Amino acid sequence: MTAKEKVNILMVDDQPSKLLSYEVILGELGENLVKATSGKEALELLLKNDFAVVLMDVSMPEIDGFEMVDIIRQHPRFQKTAIIFISAVHMTDLDRLKGYQRGAVDYISVPVVPELLRAKVSVFAELHRKTHQLELLNKELRRLSGSLISSQDEERRRIARELHDGLGQDLTVVKIMLQGVFRDDPLAKSKQPAVADIYKLIDGALQQVRSVSYLLHPPLLDEVGLRSALGWYLDGLSKRGGIDITMETQPQEFPRLAPELETTLFRVIQEALTNVFRHSRASKACVTLERKEAEILATVRDNGVGIHDEISEFRPESIGVGIGGMRQRVKELGGQLALRNAGPGTIVDVMIPITSIPSADRAVPVTVT
Ligand SMILES: Nc1ncnc2c1ncn2[C@@H]1O[C@H](COP(=O)(O)OP(=O)(O)O)[C@@H](O)[C@H]1O
Ligand SMILES: [Mg+2]
């Protein structure tokens, strides 16, 4: 529905002549006008179509407008549908109140002032159109943020490859050339200490290139899969961070998964462990990965200080980019992320359905030595 697309307006009145007059009054709004002469007919139409607003005659013979709205409101889909009551007889304040208690949004008395009716209906029509547009924009936003995450991954992969294969290779060549200079020129012996220093510097630089490129995109993930990549990552982390991290997988020979799923699980576990290091003051952490029939379950548990309720409730002002990103990644694959206190410590639970992932071809592996 774009700004110019029509919305549906339902007019309910047992008298066809009244319906005709509403039709004339509202005709110039250029929306789709639909008529119903009974509550039953109105319900049938409501169930089949999406209406921006319902004009409802209060006094109808079989079932009056208020009862009708009661029935409509019971249906979850119509709890927010705008309803304008039109009434000639029940116009005491009490009746107005009766109408509003039923969630009606407006009230018009007879004789109907055409301009007033038109103005009220057009406000609701516009509101409906705007709400629908907002929903579409939100959907698009979710889609875009998902593709942003995957293009971020692609970009990291590319930078990692360039760092490793480009700068890394260049440094290696420099090192070999230096070795050559030293070998071919006996006089260079006097320079041995300086050359040794240069070696050390180059080795350090090579090591840094490797670390940065691994961090940007773990090469093992493409080559040998999630379990080995995580194993490599956890080893490094345990050594550097001084926290004892264990991993259990079920089954032990953990199967390969679709690339998007492996990347998401790796990144989410990586972020959860980064949080363990940064915030938990834990001495131990445990990662579990379980392949169920139709889903993957992953947990990261620590024995640290635990988290506040605002964080486990994902209150926007409490969570940061880390948890926000984890949640978004998991959501993109139709899964769920939950954080809770383990007493002591924190548990991060991840569930991602396997069926939601198309079985894409494996990505070209990044070769890193
Ligand atoms: N394992 C944990 N133990 C204790 N606190 C945690 C843990 N994980 C997350 N938190 C809390 O949640 C907050 C938000 O985390 P996150 O969204 O990753 O942002 P950031 O790490 O940048 O602060 C952290 O600042 C921290 O207070
Ligand atoms: Mg974080």
Q: At what angle do helices 114-162 and 259-275 cross, to 10 degrees?
A: 90
**Domain ranges (residues) in the chain:** 8-112, 218-369
Predicted pLDDT of residue 361: 39
Low-confidence ranges of the chain (pLDDT < 50): 1-2, 356-369
CATH number of the 218-369 domain: 3.30.565.10
CA 69 → CA 76, 182, 201, 299, 330, distances in Å?
13, 93, 79, 47, 40
Q: Which atom of ligand 1 is nearest to the CA of 323?
A: 17
What is the 321 CA–ligand 1 centroid distance (Å)? 10
Given CATH 3.90.1300.10, say whether it is the number of domain 8-112.
no
Residue 364: predicted pLDDT: 37
Segment 175-191, tens digit of pLDDT: 888 877 777 776 666 77
> pLDDT tens-digit profile of 343-353?
899 999 999 99
Please check whether residue 19 is in contact with residue 11, taking contact to mean a CB–CB distance below 8 angstroms.
yes
Distances (CA, A) of 22 to 13, 25, 39, 153, 156: 10, 5, 17, 57, 61
Residues near ligand 1 (Cβ within 6 A): 275-276, 278-280, 302, 304-305, 307, 311, 319-324, 346
List pLDDT tens digits, range 20-34: 999 999 999 999 999
Return the best residue to mutate from 270, 271, 314, 323 for the ligand 1 pocket (most ligand atoms within 8 A of CB).
323
- Residue 171 has what pLDDT? 84
Cα–Cα dist 116/325, whole Å: 48
According to the model, what pLDDT value does residue 232 have? 84
| Rounded distance from Cα 201 to ligand 2 centre (Å) | 32
> What does the pLDDT look like over 118-128, one tens digit per residue?
999 999 999 89
Could you tell me the distance, in angstroms and rounded to a whole number, from the CA of residue 272 to the centre of ligand 2?
7
Q: For the chain, what is the mean pLDDT?
A: 84
